[in-house]
Amino acid sequence: MATTHDHDHRDRTGTALNAAAERALVGAGEQWTAMRAAVFTALAGFDKPASAYDVTEAVSNAQGRRIAANSVYRILDLFVAKNVAMRVESANAYLANAHPDCLHDCIFLVCDACGRATHVDDDQLSARIRETAKATGFRPEKPVIEVRGRCRDCG
């Protein structure tokens, strides 16, 4: 799968991903609290988009106490606003951003069979969409493109 980007970006995992998320959030003027760290760790532990309830359950299990879903929703919304997570609109679910220090529009390939969503970066496509919107007088803020179908593994 070809991606287009005009800069160096690296997908991170594990502690490197958590550290990159913390740097991005703190760099955006927000605090990296213990609860935010727990929510991010839980989100990053999923291999496909997770609902806020899935994340709430994972954090609750990890902490051995019930966590309020509305707190998790607020944190996930903050993460999306600060590029630490991405929201798959059609699934009402979230993914940890594997490169939170890079700003990209959300282009997802969503598998209807297994539920996985692959984020692809195509700066040329994003630029064309933004230019088209601007030509109509519309000011795009965060384009999201979702292509539904079947991934390579599900055929």
Quote the pLDDT of residue 2: 39
Task: Give the C-alpha separation, 153 to 115, whole Å.
Answer: 12
- Do the domains at 14-96 and 106-149 have one common CATH topology? no
Q: Is the pLDDT of residue 8 over 60?
A: no
Q: Where are the alpha helices (DSSP H) in 10-145?
A: 14-27, 34-44, 52-63, 69-81, 123-135
Task: Give the C-alpha separation, 69 to 59, whole Å.
Answer: 10
Over residues 76-100, the mean pLDDT reads 92
Say which CATH class 14-96 falls into: mainly alpha
**Residues 28-74 pLDDT 10s:** 999 999 999 999 999 999 999 999 999 999 999 999 999 999 999 99
Averaged confidence pLDDT in the chain? 88
Quote the pLDDT of residue 3: 42
Task: Give the C-alpha separation, 129 to 23, whole Å.
Answer: 29
> Mean pLDDT lowest for which of 5-9, 13-17, 31-35, 44-48?
5-9
Quote the pLDDT of residue 103: 72
- pTM (predicted TM-score): 0.82
Superfamily of domain 106-149: Ferric-uptake regulator, C-terminal dimerisarion domain (3.30.1490.190)
Domain borders along the chain are 14-96, 106-149
Percent composition of the chain: helix, strand, coil (DSSP 3-state, to 5):
45, 15, 40
Q: Is the pLDDT of residue 6 over 80?
A: no
